[in-house]
Chains A and B, each alone.
Chain A
Amino acid sequence: MNEEEFDSVLARLSGEYKAGLPQRLDEMDVLWARLSGDRNDNEAATKLHFHFHYFSGSGGSFGLPELSNQSTLAENALSSALRNERTLTDEECRTIATQLDVVRRIVEG
């Protein structure tokens, strides 16, 4: 595979990655609604954490470094509560809500 072909495959993979993001965001909205209603919903917190973790660890590889950077803030907020098995604080909830909006704007371009 020459450089041009490689770039072409990379561009296709990035396109596929970006096309899958809105569905993930929809799932994250549902999880955040659950968690907002019950800050002790451990399952919702764990799943939401995995979504942000996925964005953190992958965005930059597909040409969206800000998706990674911004997701890390929400991931850290969720990590802290999950690791310490405690309820999310008001500040952590604000961080998650804010970063969810920021991530949505990045995904929607």
Chain B
Amino acid sequence: MLERPRVLYVEDEPDIQTIARLALETIGGFTVEMCGSGEAAILAAQGGTFDLVLLDVMMPGIDGPTTLQRLRELPGFERVPVVFMTAKVQPDEIKRWRELGAIDVFEKPFDPMLLAARVGDVLGRANRAGAA
């Protein structure tokens, strides 16, 4: 039996955590580890392996872009695909997030019925890029 893809979701708002977990686990069949801050995400990344990271841009404490930079410094995390989640999706911001190393940018609020499919698409893209 294939192992479920493991997703690290970094989001400070409990309401959004709950609905995202529901969508990703129930619809997508992913295993989700939820972190409420960038600091917690770095600790989780040190203690586990993940196939994808969903990372909120604006959080108290260290923000999403800084969290990404710190994650990239961890052994084994250099190439893990990271998707930024943000309520503000302007073209120049998308360009900036991609330059920081994000594979994609998802707009918030997300549709809980579609989130898992979008994550699956990104994982497929990342896997194809890794195999190439």
Contacts and interface: CB of A to CB of B under 8 A. Distances in A.
Interface in A31-84: 50, 53-54, 56-62, 65, 68, 72, 75
B74 interface: no
A61 B19 contact: yes
B57 to A, nearest CB: 9
A88 to B, nearest CB: 19
A25 B15 CA distance: 16
Contact of A59 (B26, B60, B109): B109
B58 interface: yes
Nearest to B18: A13
B87 A53 contact: yes
Contact of B111 (A56, A58, A61): A61
A9 interface: yes
B93 to A, nearest CB: 12
Given A6-B22, A68-B87, 18 more contacts: A1-B26, A6-B26, A9-B22, A9-B26, A10-B19, A13-B15, A13-B18, A57-B13, A57-B85, A57-B109, A58-B13, A58-B15, A60-B110, A61-B16, A61-B19, A61-B109, A62-B19, A68-B109
